[in-house]
Amino acid sequence: MNKFQSRLKEALSESGLSQSELGRRAGIDRTVISGYVRGKYIAKQRNLGAMARALNVDEGWLMGVTDKKERFDARQSGSSAAKPKEAKSVDDLVDEMHSYRGIKISDAQRASMKAILKAYLDTQIKNDENDDQ
């Protein structure tokens, strides 16, 4: 049994969640969760993060690369570091860009960057979904 598989089983047991409930909370199909538990698949980073958040454990611990099981924000409770930053869309991030290496970025260039980034990210999401099945 690999470390990821054993730690996923441990976290599921301690959380009291079923595989179906973990899948629902993490946005991952129950059959994929079952494949992780049986050792058929190793989760990609996107799914690891979603499962770690749903199980309230550290991603590194779930992957087997650290012994610190507690989530980072839980260890930092009460500090400003524990407060998650509000997520920004690709559009918002690109709109905040005004120059690159001192050269002004035009509206047309911003529109092109948005389209390129969205196409790239969509491709990555599709690849991750295909790899997880």
**One digit per residue, pLDDT tens: the chain, 133 residues?**
788 999 999 999 999 999 999 999 999 999 999 999 999 988 888 899 999 999 999 988 998 888 888 876 543 445 444 444 566 788 888 888 888 788 899 999 999 999 999 998 888 888 777 766 6
3-class DSSP state for residue 18?
Answer: coil
CB 117 within 8 A of CB 109: no
What DSSP state is assigned to residue 41? -
- Model pLDDT, residue 28: 94
- 104 beta partners: 99
Number of neighbours of residue 109 by Cβ within 10 angstroms: 14
What is the Cα 23 distance to its own chain's centre? 14
Distance CA 59, CA 89 (A): 23
Distance CA 123, CA 50 (A): 19
Domain 3-76 has CATH 1.10.260.40: yes
- Model pLDDT, residue 83: 45
Q: DSSP characters for 67-89?
A: S--S-HHHHTTTSGGGSPPPP--
**Which backbone phi and psi does 88 adopt, to 5 degrees?**
-115, 150
- Model pLDDT, residue 72: 65
- Model pLDDT, residue 85: 57
